[in-house]
Amino acid sequence: MRCSPALLIALLACGPSTIEEASTFQQLDALVREGALAGRDTLELRDKGWGPELARMVEAAPDTGALRTLDLRGNLLGVAGAVSLAEADSLRGLHTLRLGPGRIFPDGQRLGDAGVRALAASPRLDGLEVLDVARNGVGPKGAAALSRGPVAEGLKALYIESNPLGDAGATALVGGTLGPLEILHAGWCEIGPEGATALANAPGLRGLHELLLSSNPIGNTGGVALAGADLPDLEKLYLSHTSLDDSAAAAFAAAGGLGALTHLNLDGNGLTDDGAKALAASPGLQRIEWLSLRDNLIGEDGRAALKERFGDRVEL
């Protein structure tokens, strides 16, 4: 929207004086065109419900060269908004970009594969270290795009949960030059045993510090693959509601490549006393600070063994 000089003066005189106070896009647009972004390293405009015009405003805004963090979660950017951000020369210094919608929007208002492809291919965003595209309708094609191109090699943290990746998407994600990642959140992505195995064996993920795969049907095959992975820096592993049972618990108990683990979440699986006792006797879980095993099938004997080994560090 283009405002007349008189309207701009009225907005600035009667409206908000800072970007954070803007309650309408017109107010925000007026402030930005007056240079309100000058020198700012962070812009957070969450849960406004604004459309691609928000991204176009960022693209055209003057004095945004200092921006390092841009958080537009909870807006309706769609593919057009993603393209505007990908073409924004003003974002060449950006380190963190968060575009998760905050809640599920219709497909036309999410980034989808096409929007993610535009971002991943942008040479202007090759300095990105953190990218959040959760809940954006990203499938295998979008995952494949993310695995290659200017953005892939510099990423340290990727939040891609609640997208329909499936095994094909998980495999594609680690099939290119992505990484070395330090944080990967890919829960609720329909990833099965094949996809979990691909992640476990991916060279680009060997430097992971944190991995979240909760609510994926990875099963024991996927769990055993992860337990056997060479992830020497992995500190936090979240595998709640992933269809694991005692065989997976035994594999984690015997794991030799997960010695850095401090946080392990196995809530909502099928572990019984046998799995609990295996974890309690594990020689490898020396650094555990928090072990969560709620909503499993663990009886009194298993609980006693876990409490004896981990004390207050275990949640049952």
Q: Is the pLDDT of residue 101 over 90?
A: no
Average pLDDT, the chain: 92
Contact 25, 1 (CB under 8 A): yes
- What would the pLDDT profile of 32-86 be if each residue is shown by its tens digit? 888 888 889 999 999 888 999 999 999 988 777 889 999 999 999 999 999 999 9
Q: Which residues of 293-303 are buried (b: 16+ CB within 10 A; e: fewer)?
A: beebebeeebb
DSSP 8-state code for residue 203: G
What pLDDT is attached to residue 1? 45
Helices 25-33 and 5-14: angle between axes, nearest 10 degrees: 100
- Single out the residue of 29, 47, 255, 272 nearest to residue 264, CA to CA: 255
Confidence label for 106 from pLDDT (cuts 50, 70 and 90): low
What pLDDT is attached to residue 244? 98
Contact 271, 298 (CB under 8 A): yes
Q: What domains sit in the chain, N to C, each tagged with a CATH number?
A: 1-36 (no CATH), 43-315 (3.80.10.10)
Angle (nearest 5°) at CA 129 between 196 and 177: 50
Across residues 153-160, what is the average pLDDT? 96
What pLDDT is attached to residue 3? 52
